[in-house]
Amino acid sequence: MLCRLGGRWLRPLPALQLRARDPALAPVPTSGAKRPTLSVWAVAPVCAVHANGWYEALAASSPVRVAEEVLLGVQATTGLPWWGSILLSTVALRGAVTLPLAAYQHYILAKVENLQPEIKAIARHLNQEVVVRANQLGWSERVARLTYLKNMKRIISELYVRDNCHPFKATVLVWIQLPMWIFMSFALRNLSTGAAHSEGFSVQEQLATGGILWFPDLTAPDSTWILPISVGVINLLIVEISALQKIGISRLQTYATYFVRAMSVLMIPVAATVPSSIVLYWLCSSFMGLSQNLLLRSPGFRQLCRIPSTKSDSETPYKDIFAAFNTKFISRK
């Protein structure tokens, strides 16, 4: 059996070598007795020590260290209490990083939406051509369908290249926002537990008195559950607002919406078990996400960001959201 230790796979030492290194393990020699081997319980702890190695490796990674330095730098520069430094850092990161990426995501999605009428027209014309060729050459239904799909895929790819709006570009926000959220969460975990660096203990003491209102100790979980529940509620609001704006969604999108709803609810008990500093960051980040979501529906802001107009755009987006929310959750009988 191999055990992972320090990034290398090591083979357990033979019983003879272990006895040689530790005389206490050497058995009393008896005539005709077999040489004893090392029992399983003696080897198991070596592997158990590294069961959570990936978690500790992530907590000690360079991006997490950078996030720690960002938080420490903001607190040292502004002189704000730690709750204020966490809020300011979150607002700054969301405003400087994720808001431009979210605007770019909406820009790409708007161009893709505007391509749909052209794609539908091409699809009808191509279908007619394939039917004619199938009759002339005697293609089977399967061959005709594969020919249509192959050519349609090629044409759509060419349209995406022409308008520089491949849908994959709209996922850039996720690939940046999710790692940033994870690194900031681990950085606050390190600072709250004193696992950051040589100054970690003093920072931990500052966090212990750096809270406000009902959570004065940012190193302890929120026993009132106000912060965890607030995180769950805001995340659910983001999900529902997004769901209200979608018309004719696919079954996969419906399942994805249910999954995100479930994750938003599951975040509540998780948030109740971690330091309040982390939950405060989650709450501020979710609130900024909700604000960002609403801001990007404003016709004036979309025009400022040069996001193309689409048929699904509304001149009164907030009124429409309120009306849809009222119809779905309040006026429903």
Nearest to 153 by CA among 188, 126, 175, 187: 126
The larger pLDDT score, comparing residue 82 to residue 196, is at 82
What is this structure's pTM? 0.75
Residue 183, pLDDT above cutoff 90: yes
| CA 104 to each of CA 173, 299, 300, 302: distance values in angstroms, whole numbers, following the listed order | 8, 15, 16, 10
Nearest to 157 by CA among 218, 195, 112: 112
Q: Who's near 317: CB < 8 A, 6+ residues apart?
A: 297, 298, 299
Q: Which residues pair with 10 in a beta bridge?
A: 3
Q: Which residues pair with 9 in a beta bridge?
A: 4
CB-facing half-sphere around the CA of 88: CA atoms within 13 A? 16
**Token pair belonging to 64:** 């997490």
Give the highest mean pLDDT range of 3-7, 59-63, 155-159. Answer: 155-159
- Residue 253 has a pLDDT of 73
- Residue 316 has a pLDDT of 84
Q: Which residues pair with 3 in a beta bridge?
A: 10
Rounded Cα gap, residues 299 and 315, in angstroms: 6
Q: Who's near 115: CB < 8 A, 6+ residues apart?
A: 159, 160, 163, 165
Mean pLDDT of the chain: 80
Q: Could you report how far apart the first and last alpha carbons of the chain are, in Å?
A: 63
State the pLDDT confidence band at 212, using cuts at 50, 70 and 90: confident
Q: Are 210 and 81 in contact (CB under 8 A)?
A: yes
Over residues 268-287, the pLDDT tens digits come to 999 999 999 999 999 999 99
CB atoms closer than 10 angstroms to residue 156 = 16
Give the highest mean pLDDT range of 186-195, 200-209, 273-282. Answer: 273-282
What are the boundaries of each domain within the chain?
64-109+169-330
State the pLDDT confidence band at 246, using cuts at 50, 70 and 90: low
- Residue 31 has a pLDDT of 45
Helix (H) or strand (E) holding 184: helix 172-193
Q: Can you tell me the mean pLDDT for 111-140?
A: 90
Q: Which of 119-123, 170-174, 228-232, 327-331 has the lowest mean pLDDT?
A: 327-331
- Provide DSSP, 101-126: HHHHHHHHHHHHHHHHHHHHHHHHHH
Q: Widest CA span of the chain, in angstroms?
A: 95
φ/ψ of residue 5, rounded to 5: -145, 115
SS3 content of the chain, % helix, strand, coil (to 5): 70, 0, 25
Residue 7, pLDDT above cutoff 50: no
Rounded Cα gap, residues 74 and 92, in angstroms: 10
Buried b (16+ CB within 10 A) or exposed e, 287-305: bbbeebbbebbeeeebeeb
Q: Are 83 and 98 in contact (CB under 8 A)?
A: no
